[in-house]
Amino acid sequence: MSSPVQALMRRDWQLAVRRPTQALLPLVFFVVAASLFPLGVGPEPQMLRTIAPGVVWVCALLAAMMSLGSMYAMDHQDGTLEQYVLCGQSLSGLALGKALVHWVIHGLPLVLVSPIMALAFGMPGTDLGVLMLSLLIGTPVISLLGGVGSALTLGVRSAGMLNVLLVLPLVIPVLIFGTGAVGAVATGASPEAHLSLLGALLLLMLAGTPWATAAALRIALD
């Protein structure tokens, strides 16, 4: 990566460190939302073990999407995006860097906390590794797709809600394959097929979304 992209990544990281409340809000939502399900469905252990993969994945997906709308909003408001275009740097590099920082700040903590929430549902220890691996592969896809949605909704009223409506249907396959991998282990089958499909989706997003985001940013800045 070029030094301007690295500088923007450091800037986003420093802003997150200075505003820990905003950075930790998706993680708090994830923990609270997942904790409410046992109160709604009852304390029956077998039921909780059955719904655990779906609950953890759905809550993680919604938590990761909470911060997507602000990925480029601040840079657009303070003129950073215009300066980046004027200096001739690669917008696709910017998009990849922003998605990486977003995942480290908002996605990686969800992956690290997910085993604790899964254990609270009584999920067997043998399934925890697959759950974490599926989240580790799947959550970056949310950040990459969210970058495209955030760029498309720059300057639009209610951009955050519109971004969710744009991105949510696109991340449904991630949810299906992620929960499917854990479900396969629970039934004694191999999770490799589901994890391979998740990996293929990640590679596809890495190949296409930075350029799609760059095109959307150019449209928003014109």
The string of pLDDT tens digits covering residues 119-164 is 888 888 878 889 999 999 999 999 999 999 888 888 777 767 788 8
Nearest to 30 by CA among 114, 134, 104: 114
Tokens of 145: 């797709």
Sorting pLDDT into bands at 50, 70 and 90, what band is 177?
Answer: very high
Number of residues in the chain: 222
Tokens of 208: 């296409």
List the Cα angle 164/167/153 in 5-degree steps.
65
Sorting pLDDT into bands at 50, 70 and 90, what band is 2?
Answer: low
CA distances to 69, 100, 136 from 159, in Å: 6, 21, 27
- For the chain, give every domain's residue range: 3-221
Asked if residue 195 has pLDDT above 90, the reply is: yes
Rounded percentage of the chain residues whose pLDDT exceeds 70: 97
State how far the Cα of 36 lies from the Cα of 154, in Å rounded to an integer: 34
Query: What is residue 1's predicted lDDT score, i.e. its pLDDT?
Result: 47
Rounded mean pLDDT, 101-127: 89
With 0-12 / 13-18 / 19 or more C-beta atoms within 10 angstroms meaning exposed / middle / buried, residue 155 is exposed
Amino acid letter, 205 = M
How many C-beta neighbours within 10 Å does residue 40 have?
6
Nearest to 136 by CA among 167, 163, 114: 114
Rounded mean pLDDT, 85-99: 82
